[in-house]
Structure 1
Amino acid sequence: MRVCGIIAEYDPFHLGHRYHMERARELAGADYVVVVLGCAFSQRGEAMLFASHDRARMALLSGADLVLGMPASFSCAQANRFARGGVSILNSLGAVTHLSFGCEPDGREYLSRTADLLHHPSLAFARTLKAGLKTGKSFARAQGEALSACLPDVPPAVFANPNFILGISYLLELKRLRSPICAMPVVRAGEYHAQSLSPLPSATAVRHALSQGGWQGVRASVPLESFFVIRDAVENGRLHQPHALDAWLIGTLNIGGEASLQLSPEMSEGLERRVLAKARHAKTREELLDLINTRRYTRSRVNRALSHALLGLTQFPDRPAYARLLGFRRSAAPLLKRLKSASIPLVDRPGRGAPPGFFEEMRAEELWALGAGKPMASAWRYPLIVID
């Protein structure tokens, strides 16, 4: 049995995602495709536009055989932790043979060399990285410059590409786990985070078109199955509204104090004091991010820390203790039978004996629902998705 894993957000699932999924299945000769999906809050630290179950349904209708949810403390995280969550889940299933991810045309040949250097950093790399951090540069920038110094034949822009960073994070996790899973990058056919629509668009472009009421552009950019799910979500008010949780966030920071921030892995070097000092003078998340703005901390990093405080995340385990079962195809019955021997439980809803961290997962989904104008309890009214 060949099983290809994909780690994604699909907010929403578009034609570029379908291209990747089909290509991954073809290259791996996969009998099944398993998706590990980032749930209520994204890598960027923002709430997803679409509900976890709507995004899972899009993926299943477009070819995935099984969709699992990544716990919130890994989903809303920087690239290395996001990768750790996804790769660890796939490895724990005991059935996945391949991991496929998108990469840029000019980055594929550099992935393995970069991952090897980061897995076994040279003294020169460590010194250059340390020197960069001492000058107040963000970790991402300092690491990129250290990589450029040690791998001078690689274009520096490659190390700043978010998709490349995520790709090497996947490779590093496979190395650290000594996983038998084979990495299989697929060259992207569209631009990562491009703002405009194209035949193979980015999710950013699709979300922007949707916010402008550009239904014709949305329809041309997503599979028909995704379009029906998107239209239903819009018509029935299942979209998270920008700024809906801003007052809750500002209140949480001002009432909770340093305790609401200190446990976040994004916090260090007194960042929590800067956040709290500025929180007293902001009414919205965007205002707060503008006030906190500093060269040392990227906007995404601060945004993630704010979401950790908003969600009340206090547990940041090294590996996921479970995966959420969001949906599957009936034709994947042989795969599901194989997964009964997985080393972590697959949980579909709250209940007795829920694994560690699942309460925080519940809170993330419930706050997402509140931000969509729904009662918090509605987050758990979605049935398990089963596609015939």
Structure 2
Amino acid sequence: MNILGVIVEYNPFHNGHLHHLNKSRQLTKATHTVAIMSGNFLQRGEPALFDKYTRASIAVENGVDLVLELPTLYACQSAEIFAHGAITTLNSLNCIDSICFGSEEGSIDVLYTIAKILVDEPNEFKVNLKKYLDEGMLYPSARSMSLFDYISKHNLIDISKDKLLNVLNSSNNILGLEYIKCLLKLNSNIKPFTISRVQASYNSENITSSICSATAIRKSLKDYNDLSLISNVVPSQTYNILNEKINNNFLPMFDEAYFDIIKSIVARDISILDKYFEVNEGIENKIYQNIFRSNSLDELHLSIKSKRYTLTKIKRTLNNILLGITKEDISYVKDINAVPYIRVLAFNDRGREILKAIKKTSEVNIVNKLSKASFSMNDKLFKTLLDYDIRSSNIYNLIYYKNNPDLLKGPMDYYISPIYIKNNKN
């Protein structure tokens, strides 16, 4: 087996994702593919459009062999923490040969060179960084200048100052650099690859061709509530499964649905809000001051937004408050070098082969059903990570099942088994 790992959200799985998957398998010559996928809440501080099992089954229908859940404590955070959780999960399997991610840069040599300098921090680089900071430069500019000086002096790659700055400031490049940095820190045998993103940019809100950003798809569903408008930009498997969910009254989820819950938590916990992760620099006061007079989550975002508090910062902060994610727990898990368990969301026959390989090569616990995971709940790391996975699903499902209350049996992670899709031909 030659096993490829991909790190995804698939919110939802669209034609760009299918292009990435196919190109990644071609580039790495992979025979099997594992996706580490965020669960019900995502990196930008938002709920997923549809539940994790639905999104995982769509992924397998489109050619992924095994989908594993990225623990919630990593899935909802900044690039560094998100990447650490995902890469550590893949590395813990001890059978992954490669990862491949999309990037604006498209050259693994460029990204690898930059990442290695940032991890190794050669003395010459550190001296220049201090010099630029002492001259009054902001840290991002000082880092970029120090990198350029070091790369140029040692003739490592051919890159201009402007291109280097662009590499360091582009969303997918930032994630890619963090993936490589984590691989280096873990001394991992997993080989990184990248492919260029095609046509649509990460944050583009327009549907103009057969490939667009997930942001554009989410905006279309939110503004028009019409699945047919995205039929040309998602594979038929995605469209058919989402159409079935909507016909069964499971509607797309957006962060606005949790506004009332967030208001209640802020009103109750104002004296202890600073225990939650990302609640710093006095943002708790801005949240508290504005939450009573805001009529929507968007209004609250805009009332807090400033040069100090970016929209992304605000959304992640409010999501951490919603899910009760504390500074203490993030501090506990952010530097681990192996995960204690993996949760299987969906798989096919080749996915079964990967699971058999994992059992042979890794000591990680494979969790298919939560009812059988109780034997490890006395392990603090295991319990900390799993408790947040269960909690986030419970909070998500309070809204997700509102049109199907009779189907909400309780903590649904205990009732739903991994989705097995037999004889996938992709």
Distance 1:144 1:61, change over 3 A: farther
Distance 1:117 1:220, change over 3 A: same
Deviations 1:94-146 (A, max 9, x none): 110101100125665531232123213422564378569x88x7xxxx42563
Q: Which residue of 2 aligns with 1:247?
A: 260
Residue 153 (1) aligns with residue 150 (2): no
Higher mean C-alpha displacement, 104-113 vs 302-311: 104-113
**Cα offset for 1:66?**
0.3
Q: Which residue of 2 aligns with 1:123?
A: 126
Aligned counterparts, 1:213-292, within 5 A: 213-238=225-250, 239-264=252-277, 266-292=278-304
User: Are the equivalent residues in 1 in contact too, given 2:108–2:193 (CA < 8 A)?
Assistant: no
Higher mean C-alpha displacement, 283-292 vs 33-42: 283-292
- What code does the residue aligned with 1:359 have? D
Distance 1:200 1:171, change over 3 A: same
Q: Report sequence identity in percent.
A: 26
Q: Which residue of 2 aligns with 1:346?
A: 366
Deviations 1:326-367 (A, max 9, x none): 011123332211111423223234332343121221110111
Residue 143 (1) aligns with residue 140 (2): yes
- What code does the residue aligned with 1:143 have? P
- What code does the residue aligned with 2:64 have? A
Residue 385 (1) aligns with residue 419 (2): yes
**Cα offset for 1:44?**
0.6
Q: Which residue of 2 aligns with 1:203?
A: 214
- What code does the residue aligned with 1:303 have? K
Q: Indicate the SS of the match to 1:245.
A: helix
Q: Which residue of 2 aligns with 1:193?
A: 203
Aligned counterparts, 1:1-388, within 5 A: 1-105=1-105, 110-121=110-121, 122-124=125-127, 126-127=129-130, 142-143=139-140, 146-148=143-145, 150-151=147-148, 153-155=161-163, 156-191=165-200, 192-197=202-207, 198-211=209-222, 212-238=224-250, 239-264=252-277, 266-314=278-326, 315-316=329-330, 317-318=333-334, 319=336, 320-341=339-360, 342-351=362-371, 352-353=374-375, 354=377, 355-357=382-384, 358-374=386-402, 375=405, 377=410, 379-380=412-413, 381-388=415-422
Q: Which residue of 1 aligns with 2:153?
A: none
Distance 1:160 1:69, change over 3 A: same
Q: Equivalents in 2 of 1:336, 1:321: separation in Å? A: 15
Higher mean C-alpha displacement, 105-114 vs 5-14: 105-114
Q: Equivalents in 2 of 1:48, 1:90: separation in Å? A: 22
Distance 1:51 1:257, change over 3 A: same
Distance 1:363 1:144, change over 3 A: farther
- What code does the residue aligned with 1:379 have? M
User: Are the equivalent residues in 2 in contact too, given 1:260–1:312 (CA < 8 A)?
Assistant: no
User: Are the equivalent residues in 2 in contact too, given 1:56–1:67 (CA < 8 A)?
Assistant: yes
Distance 1:369 1:2, change over 3 A: same
Distance 1:36 1:203, change over 3 A: same
Q: Indicate the SS of the match to 1:4.
A: strand
Distance 1:379 1:260, change over 3 A: farther
How many residues end up aligned between the 2 structures?
381
- What code does the residue aligned with 1:230 have? L
User: Are the equivalent residues in 1 in contact too, given 2:276–2:324 (CA < 8 A)?
Assistant: no
Unmatched tracts of structure 1, length 5 or more: none
Q: Indicate the SS of the match to 1:220.
A: coil
Higher mean C-alpha displacement, 16-25 vs 294-303: 294-303
- What code does the residue aligned with 2:110 have? Y
User: Are the equivalent residues in 1 in contact too, given 2:46–2:255 (CA < 8 A)?
Assistant: no
User: Are the equivalent residues in 1 in contact too, given 2:108–2:192 (CA < 8 A)?
Assistant: no
Unmatched tracts of structure 2, length 5 or more: 149-159
Deviations 1:187-223 (A, max 9, x none): 1123222212222211112222333245444111111
Distance 1:254 1:349, change over 3 A: farther
Q: Which of these two proteins has the greater Rg computed from alpha carbons?
A: 2
**Cα offset for 1:241?**
4.2
Higher mean C-alpha displacement, 277-286 vs 241-250: 277-286
- TM-score, structure 2 length as denominator? 0.82
- What code does the residue aligned with 2:221 have? L
- What code does the residue aligned with 1:372 have? Y
Q: Equivalents in 2 of 1:124, 1:194: separation in Å? A: 39
Q: Which residue of 1 aligns with 2:152?
A: none
Q: Equivalents in 2 of 1:218, 1:126: separation in Å? A: 47
**Cα offset for 1:280?**
4.2
User: Are the equivalent residues in 2 in contact too, given 1:4–1:97 (CA < 8 A)?
Assistant: yes
Q: Equivalents in 2 of 1:28, 1:216: separation in Å? A: 35
CA RMSD of aligned residues (A): 2.4
User: Are the equivalent residues in 1 in contact too, given 2:105–2:167 (CA < 8 A)?
Assistant: no
Q: Equivalents in 1 of 2:213, 2:273: separation in Å? A: 34
Higher mean C-alpha displacement, 323-332 vs 99-108: 99-108
User: Are the equivalent residues in 2 in contact too, given 1:58–1:225 (CA < 8 A)?
Assistant: yes
Q: Equivalents in 2 of 1:281, 1:369: separation in Å? A: 27
Q: Indicate the SS of the match to 1:118.
A: helix
Q: Equivalents in 2 of 1:338, 1:107: separation in Å? A: 31
Q: Equivalents in 1 of 2:300, 2:59: separation in Å? A: 35
- TM-score, structure 1 length as denominator? 0.90
